[in-house]
Amino acid sequence: MNDATVSPSPGRAHGKNAFFFVIVTVALDMLAFGLIIPVVPALIRELTHVSSEEATLWLGPLAATYAVMNFLFGPVMGALSDRFGRRPVLLASVATLVIDFLVMGLAHNIWLLFIGRALSGISGATYSTANAYIADVTTPEERGRAFGMIGAAFGFGFVFGPVIGGFLGEVDPRAPFFAGAGLALLNFLYGLFVLPESHAPENRRAFNLSRANPLGAARHFSKLPKVRWFLVGAGIFMLAHTVFPSTWNVYGEIRYDWSPREIGFSLGLVGIGAAVVQAGLMGAILKRLGTVRTALFGQMVNVLSLMAFAFAIHPLIAYLIIPFSSLGGVAAPAVNSLMSSVTPANAQGELQGANSSLNAMAMIIGPLTMNTVLYSFTRDGAAVHFAGAAFLLAAVLTALSMLPFLKGVAANRDVLPATAG
């Protein structure tokens, strides 16, 4: 996919409303997604009449459904936007999100939740289209700041979505779904009236299914030998960190007897901590330690904080760990910086494609694995009862991810910049 390389067409004027719509779309998509996180376990229990422990067996497949559809439809949506333009794809995505939340909010059986998560995966696969729109309407000099605003919008939704969803969930477990549908509908109507098309007809190309094939990610690995070990380490790291989105809500219920409001509040703290570290402290840490040491520092913090979560038997301890664990947020950007620095300029898109595919695969495999481990160690009759088992597994995987990372550093020592550390 080369969506992000499309340059603005001469003479195509796009007001601030168009740019603002894309930013709002990303923020509201993530806000609406975060709204439902604290209440999904309660809705599963209502629909299946199972315990909190047994509900974990449904959380993994639900999360994997979203990830599989995201994995399959990401390149498809990008190719469709190349053929028909960004505007119809973005609007269709927002409309799909409205339908998705209504389906889940009105669900009377568990399978309707799966249909809703599948629709979420499809609608959420348009982030590449949003990035392409930004690339269409900005100059190269403006593009970095514009993409940064998309990242900020994403973070805004993640921070406030679970918090608001937790409060609404105290009223009714289905209330966040209807709130999400309302936000998405307002966004759709706004875009319908203000969003112009950004992709000029002369830049469009025919839809080709072979170019919209997610399995093409395998080619990225063979074409990027210098970053192969970094990518292996990044893949293991991503797999480990699926423990948070896939188990945190039900883990909080089982271990700490948290309500949806407390689950939302804790996730909000995680988001705020990550934003503060990545936006405020990342530059200072990189300047002091260099990129390699920053990555190792972040990975070590992640190992220690995941182990601490595993053995945190009191909720106050979990809250105290969250600020420390936020420092681990420097690891992924530092690793991405290293991978980028050893990749030729004409292969940067391939690098991000490979990284995106790894993330999608992690989100398919990780929730199934982490929730199965959580259930196995918390169910009635478990040989060993240990609610922190999934976090301990994540800590071990994070430690293992450092081995291929170090091998990648050694393999590229002669080409890494002097400032890498």
Residue 350 lies in a domain: yes
Other CB atoms within 10 A of residue 201 CB: 8
Check: CB of residue 360 under 8 Å from CB of residue 70.
Answer: yes
Q: Which of 345, 338, 314 is nearest to 404 (CA)?
A: 338
The model's pLDDT over 116-167, given as tens digits with 9 standing for 90+, comes to: 888 888 877 666 677 667 767 766 545 545 655 666 676 677 677 878 888 8
Examine the domain organization and report whether 181 and 243 are in the same domain: no
290 Rama class: left (phi>0) / alpha (psi -120 to 50) / beta? left
Question: What string of DSSP letters covers 345-404?
Answer: GGGHHHHHHHHHHHHHHHHHHHHHHHHHHHHHTTSTT-SS--TTHHHHHHHHHHHHHHHH
Residue 1 lies in a domain: no
| pLDDT > 70? residue 392 | yes
Examine the domain organization and report whether 178 and 235 are in the same domain: no
The model's pLDDT over 274-300, given as tens digits with 9 standing for 90+, comes to: 777 776 777 788 788 888 998 999 999
Give the number of domains in the chain: 2
Residue 217 lies in a domain: no
Examine the domain organization and report whether 98 and 245 are in the same domain: no
Q: What is the CATH number of the domain that holds 361?
A: 1.20.1250.20
- The parent domain of residue 284 ranges over 222-421
Task: Give the whole-angstrom CA distance, residue 53 versus residue 338.
Answer: 41
Task: Give the whole-angstrom CA distance, residue 207 versus residue 76.
Answer: 9
Examine the domain organization and report whether 72 and 139 are in the same domain: yes
Examine the domain organization and report whether 344 and 243 are in the same domain: yes
Examine the domain organization and report whether 234 and 139 are in the same domain: no
Residue 216 lies in a domain: no
Residue 83 lies in a domain: yes
Task: Give the whole-angstrom CA distance, residue 38 versus residue 264.
Answer: 6
The model's pLDDT over 351-387, given as tens digits with 9 standing for 90+, comes to: 655 676 677 788 888 888 999 999 999 998 888 999 9
Roughly how many angstroms between the first and final C-alpha of the chain, as a whole number?
Answer: 33
Average pLDDT over residues 390-407: 96
Task: Give the whole-angstrom CA distance, residue 262 versus residue 14.
Answer: 42
Q: Is 144 exposed, middle or buried (0-12, 13-18, 19+ CB in 10 A)?
A: exposed
